[in-house]
C-alpha cells in the first residue's frame, strides 16, 4: 500500500488504490495519482508511450480500453 514514485526523480505516479490484478507480469493501474504524473504520446493504435511527467523517465505504456472496467485504460 502507498504511493508509487518515479525511480529516477521521486515524482508521484500512481496510488496503490488504483492498482489491480492483471495477467501481465507488470503492476497494472487504472489511473495516475495526479493529472501531471505522466506524459503520454501516441505510439500505436490502442497504446500510448508513458513517461514521468517531471523528468521524462520511461515508464511503459497506457493501453486504452484494457482496464478492469469497460472504457478504462491500463497503465
The reported pLDDT for the residue numbered 26 is 87
Which grid cell is 48? Answer: 500510448
DSSP 3-state assignment of 1? coil
Residue 50 bridge partners (DSSP): 40, 60
* Phi, psi at 16, each rounded to 5°: -60, -20
pLDDT tens digits for 39-53?
999 999 999 999 999
Sketch the domain layout of the chain as residue ranges. Answer: 3-63
pLDDT-derived band at 1, boundaries 50, 70, 90: confident
pLDDT tens digits for 19-72?
999 888 889 999 999 999 999 999 999 999 999 999 999 999 999 999 999 999
Q: Is the overall model pTM greater than 0.95, yes or no?
A: no
Residue 44 bridge partners (DSSP): 47
CATH of 3-63, one of 2.60.40.420, 2.170.150.20, 2.40.128.20, 3.40.50.300: 2.170.150.20
CB 54 within 8 A of CB 11: yes
DSSP 3-state assignment of 23? coil
Amino acid at each position: 500500500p502507498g504511493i508509487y514514485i518515479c525511480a529516477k526523480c521521486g515524482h508521484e505516479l500512481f496510488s496503490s488504490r488504483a492498482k489491480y490484478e492483471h495477467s501481465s507480469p507488470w503492476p497494472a493501474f487504472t489511473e495516475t495519482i495526479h493529472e501531471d504524473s505522466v506524459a503520454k504520446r501516441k505510439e500505436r493504435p490502442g497504446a500510448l508511450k508513458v513517461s514521468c511527467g517531471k523528468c521524462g523517465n520511461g515508464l511503459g505504456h497506457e493501453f486504452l480500453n484494457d482496464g478492469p472496467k469497460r472504457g478504462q485504460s491500463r497503465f
